[in-house]
Amino acid sequence: MRGKFITIEGQDGAGKTTNVDVIKRCLETANIDYVHSREPGGTKLGETVRELILNSSDASIGDTAELLLMFAARAQHIEELIEPALSKGQWVLCDRFTDATYAYQGGGRRMPIGDIQLLENYVQASLRPDLTVLLDLPVDVGETRAGSRSDPDRFEQQKHEFKHRVRECYLDRARAEPSRISVIDASKGIGEVEASVARLIKRFIANG
């Protein structure tokens, strides 16, 4: 049987890293064979693109080039890792996927949504996540949490308004696809957020 594809999304500072661990523990407890990956990244090419986009001190990467690089990395990721795993029945847990492109390149950078849809259909064909966990919190709370990082990447350096547009775009997508995207209030205490994520994943596993 084909594996399930779970993604986790949220603004920077929303607590993805700890909640990825929560999801992993739930999958392991249920004896589910899975692979964990991330975007941009997950392959040699993807990690090179990640380094280029996130940490480049060269600010001259244009918005179109950035969008295409995200999808180039994704094409490789799907071909090399995601599809082979799902086809042999493994589950895939991916830290960010195309919802991030809608939120950051579409919402944040204001790239045309139609262009993103076009690339999504071209690169992914019918591949979409089965479940997306969206960690949502007010922008200023995320900024305070992420602010303690010493070396912010190109997106973490963006202005408040950019981050607002990212959040709103994520929430719009969740409203449009409530059966796939589950919104978790990440402004609550860590324990409460982790418990909500664990409940969601256990329910998803139980429903097969």
- At 201 the three-state DSSP class reads helix
- At 40 the three-state DSSP class reads coil
Candidate list 101, 163, 170, 174; residue touching ligand TMP; CB under 6 A: 101
Query: 62-74 b/e with 16+ CB inside 10 Å = b?
Result: eeeebbebbbbbb
Q: Does 39 bind ligand TMP (CB under 6 A)?
A: yes
Candidate list 5, 34, 91, 104; residue touching ligand TMP; CB under 6 A: 104
Q: Does 8 bind ligand TMP (CB under 6 A)?
A: no
Which parts of 159-200 are beta strand (E)? 181-185
The enclosing H or E element of 107 equals none
Query: 117-153 b/e with 16+ CB inside 10 Å = b?
Result: eebbeebbeeeebebbbbbbbebeebbebbeeeeeee
Q: Are 140 and 12 in contact, with CB atoms under 8 Å apart?
A: no
Q: Identify which of residues 19 and 101 has a Cβ nearer to ligand TMP in the complex.
A: 101
CB of 203 to ligand TMP, least distance (A): 25
Q: Identify which of residues 33 and 79 has a Cβ nearer to ligand TMP in the complex.
A: 79
Q: Does 19 bind ligand TMP (CB under 6 A)?
A: no
Per CB under 6 A, which region of 37-45, 81-89, 111-119, 133-141 contacts ligand TMP? Answer: 37-45
Candidate list 8, 86, 93, 100; residue touching ligand TMP; CB under 6 A: 100
Per CB under 6 A, which region of 35-43, 57-65, 175-183, 198-206 contacts ligand TMP? Answer: 35-43
Q: Does 40 bind ligand TMP (CB under 6 A)?
A: yes
What is the spatial distance between Cα 101 and Cα 91, in angstroms, rounded to a whole number? Answer: 22
Q: Are 187 and 138 in contact, with CB atoms under 8 Å apart?
A: yes
Q: Identify which of residues 100 and 184 has a Cβ nearer to ligand TMP in the complex.
A: 100
Q: Does 136 bind ligand TMP (CB under 6 A)?
A: no
Question: What single DSSP character describes residue 44?
Answer: H
Q: Does 155 bind ligand TMP (CB under 6 A)?
A: yes
What is the spatial distance between Cα 169 and Cα 172, in angstroms, rounded to a whole number? Answer: 5
φ, ψ dihedrals at 2, nearest 5°: -65, 140
Q: Does 77 bind ligand TMP (CB under 6 A)?
A: no
Q: Does 12 bind ligand TMP (CB under 6 A)?
A: yes
Q: Which stretches of the chain bind ligand TMP, using CB under 6 A?
A: 12, 38-40, 54, 70, 95-96, 100-101, 104-105, 155
